[in-house]
Chain A
Amino acid sequence: MNRGIINRFLGFCVVLLVQVLVLNNVHILGVVTPLLLVYPILCFHRGANRISLLLWSFAFGVIYDMFSDTWGMGTFTNTLLGLIQPGLLNLFSPHDDDDEENEFEPDLYSMGIGHFLAYAFFGCLIYHAVFNLLNAFNISSLVFTLIAIGGGTLLTLVIIFFTELIIRKRR
């Protein structure tokens, strides 16, 4: 249990560093920035305690906001994703083995490429939509916001896909 927590925290720290040091400096077309922060939340296994999932998501969001000076935006979006992640996972994951279901971990190989990409796509889309709308906080620059949402979703999806390829191959 403790090991799981430590692993999760270390994984989050790595993602956080990549996000803050590298990805936050990416601004394609001036507005598109990938948000890899969605990844640790999407990786929560099925059957995880929902309250702990919410608290983890919230904590990740607060730490991310502290580093990137986006107070409230990351926290709000992370907590929201923590709420809907179990439902999203149930929607795209297989249900054929009840015994394994409780410990089912979503990844490229356990879910299959198609299902995983669909799962990650909707997770990224929701995350980018909420984050960018909060960031813009008005609808006068809606076109730029839509570009940021669409571009960021695709870019993050690509990064998650290659990260999955690298991490899972090593295992």
Chain B
Amino acid sequence: MRNLFDFLVKYCYWLLFLVLEGISLAMLVSHNSYHGSVYLTSANHVTGKVYEWESELTSYLSLKEVNRQLVSDNVEMRLRLASLERALDSLRKDSVRIDFVAPEYHLVHAQVVKATLHRNNNYLTIDKGRRDGIRPEMAVISSGGVVGIVYLTSDHYSIVIPLLNVRSSVSCKARNSKYFGTLQWQRGAVNIAYVIDVPRHANVHKGEVVETNGYSEVFPAGIPIGKILDVGDSPDGLSFMLKVQLFTDFSTLRDVSVITNYSREEKKLLEQKADSSDINH
């Protein structure tokens, strides 16, 4: 306190000067419209800049949430697009117009919390589980396309078998072809997989998009998987083997969505009944 008092006594002359000049400047800007407007303009410029910086900072900090929202929107759009394309196809093929109701998929958005990429059996761990409605054998997709299939679930987490797993097998087809094959991954590149068992008479070309065909119990039809890089022969020479560049970038994958209501129990039961009956014997 005493130091403060000494300081004030020592520098009161300068303090008084600053106070008087402050009063002068206040008079200057408050009584002269031109000076006032210049001051206000400068002040607005300064405060505007500060607010601009603040806005940039907060928008940067909220990028994670924005990104998550974009990814979920993108996934929903893709599913909607796929169902609409199927509806369009069916309308084109039929001479009689039928009312088509596009299925509404229920999505659970999740984040990848752990991923392996360089093993034979890679897997992903996502931060949503049984309590979020996730069950084994549900489809996992991202804004790029197919990611994999839910394998195991706990209350809050799930393990997903991605396409990058040698046990993974997804039924698919080229977009403009009706012949289907099976997508499998072979060790090595994390963005390359192969479609096997494509009939030799199938008319497939480089650059075509490979998508799910809807025959599996897991994936709805029309979800993109990748692009054909090369059309080659299978080792036994009986069919084509398509080299596919995957759309999903697993090395940077973070936001995924799980389709929780695409269940074909009836179909599954029927197929199980067929397997157990004498049809196959």
Contacts and interface: CB of A to CB of B under 8 A. Distances in A.
Contacts of B35: 72, 134, 137
Given A72-B31, A72-B35, A79 B24 contact: yes
A101 interface: no
Contacts of B25: 72, 76
Interface stretch (B9-17, B77-85, B220-228): B9-17
Given A51-B12, A137-B34, A73 B28 contact: yes
Given A137-B34, A137-B38, A138-B38, A76 B28 contact: yes
Contacts of B28: 71-73, 76, 134
B46 interface: no
A72 B12 contact: no
A169 to B, nearest CB: 36
B38 A75 contact: no
Given A80-B21, A137-B35, A75 B13 contact: no
Interface in A46-96: 50-51, 54-55, 58, 61, 65, 71-73, 75-76, 79-80, 83
Contact of B32 (A54, A72, A79): A72
Most buried by A among B25, B28, B34, B35: B28
Interface residues of B, number: 19
Nearest to A65: B27
Most buried by B among A65, A71, A72, A80: A72
A68 B132 CA distance: 78
B20 interface: yes
A81 to B, nearest CB: 11
A138 B24 CA distance: 18
A54 B16 contact: yes
B34 A75 contact: no
B112 interface: no
A58 B27 CA distance: 12
Contacts of B16: 51, 54-55
28 contacts: A51-B13, A51-B16, A54-B16, A55-B16, A58-B20, A58-B23, A61-B24, A71-B28, A72-B24, A72-B25, A72-B26, A72-B27, A72-B28, A72-B29, A72-B31, A72-B35, A73-B28, A75-B23, A75-B24, A75-B27, A76-B24, A76-B28, A79-B21, A79-B24, A134-B28, A134-B35, A137-B34, A137-B35
Interface of A: 50-51, 54-55, 58, 61, 65, 71-73, 75-76, 79-80, 83, 134, 137-138
Interface of B: 12-13, 16-17, 20-21, 23-32, 34-35, 38
